[in-house]
Chain A
Amino acid sequence: AQTIHQWPVAEIKAVGSPLSLGCTIKGKSSPNLYWYWQATGGTLQQLFYSITVGQVESVVQLNLSASRPKDDQFILSTEKLLLSHSGFYLCAWSLGGGRDEQYFGPGTRLTVL
């Protein structure tokens, strides 16, 4: 069975500080991976997707970047946090190849002060 982990569980960071969030999926090779952002009380906004190692496409940037250094790892980062970056960051995976079902990881709660 596939399992998806995100780290850290929660972060409190200062405006202007750097950020790195991680996502690992086990039990499935070459999944499609996605990053989403959800403001408190808001909807889900897809930020990035990756179909294969080393390739990441931006959907909405929000002054963030993403990388996929390994088949099972997806990283979201920025060098300078903004107040508007606060929210819930969710990693998701799908099988790809026409299989559209997406399954979300547990998420990281980010508070920028």
Chain B
Amino acid sequence: GEQVEQLPSILRVQEGSSASINCSYEDSASNYFPWYKQEPGENPKLIIDIRSNMERKQIQELIVLLDKKAKRFSLHITDTQPGDSAMYFCAASGPSSFSKLVFGQGTSLSVVP
């Protein structure tokens, strides 16, 4: 089955700088790649996603890139703020009647002043 690797596990950046999180997947049939943000004690929130028919997607300060040949995708947060501090999870799923999301191990992002 699908496996998703996520790096780094811990990321610490200066406020106002950019943060990048990288994920790789194994199944070339995977076609949907969401990113979730989870704050301590809370449920994960879907923040941005990309499908295999796209290479780049941006929502405000969030940019997602997808390289299907390399089977890699990444999240870039520009102009980070303390409120961006949280756990971030990438995930992948393939074509199916249901959404079988396989999650990466998570990245703990800390934005320091």
Contact = CB atoms under 8 A, between A and B. Distances in A.
B43 A49 contact: no
Contacts of A94: 98-99
B contact residues, range: 20 to 34
A46 B100 contact: yes
Contacts of B102: 46
A contact residues, range: 20 to 34
A45 B45 CA distance: 16
B32 A44 contact: no
Majority-rule SS of A interface residues: strand
Interface string A45-65: 110010100000101000000
Interface string B31-67: 0101010000011111001000000000000000000
B105 interface: yes
B97 A102 contact: no
Contacts of A45: 103
A32 B99 contact: yes
B104 A43 contact: yes
A57 B98 CA distance: 10
B101 A101 contact: no
Given A49-B98, A51-B97, A94-B99, 11 more contacts: A32-B98, A34-B99, A43-B105, A44-B103, A46-B100, A46-B102, A96-B97, A100-B93, A101-B34, A101-B49, A104-B36
